[in-house]
Amino acid sequence: MRCLNEFLTKLKNTPHGATTLLDATLVYVTSDTAWGKVHDRTEWPVLLAGKAGGRLAGDGHFNFPGENLSRALLTVAQSMGSTKPDFGLEAGKVNAVLPGIRV
């Protein structure tokens, strides 16, 4: 996490046109479990850092208990220009993005 903080801080402190490199970027950070001690698979943590060039609202905290992690990935993919209407397989297949993340 210290390295992630250093990385994001460098992006934030690097000018990029009228904004910063962090504002122009999307960094997707997650873990393979919600609580590593027991390998819980509910409420997986996801951090979306940056504003993806204005495509994401940014500067917010969102919590989606019980939600399918594939929706986070579909939100990212569509935010970055994908026109694919769905993502995932079987129980992980989704066709709706997470609310409040995109501009």
Confirm whether 101 is domain-assigned.
Answer: no
Residue 47 placed within a domain: yes
Residue 10: inside a domain, yes or no? Answer: yes
**Domain of 37?**
2-92
Within-domain flag for 99: no
Assess if residue 14 is contained within a domain.
yes
Query: Within a domain: residue 100?
Result: no
Give the pLDDT score at 53. Answer: 94
Distance CA 74, CA 55 (A): 14
Residue 97 lies in a domain: no
Per-residue pLDDT at 41: 66
Sequence-distant (≥ 6) Cβ neighbours of residue 40 within 8 angstroms: 33, 34
Q: Which two three-digit tokens encode residue 6?
A: 């250093």
Indicate the number of domains in the chain: 1
At residue 68, what is the residue type?
Answer: N
pTM metric for this prediction: 0.83
Each of the 103 residues of the chain gets a pLDDT tens digit; together they read 899 999 999 999 999 999 999 999 999 998 777 777 777 666 778 889 999 999 999 888 888 888 888 999 999 999 999 999 999 999 889 999 999 999 8
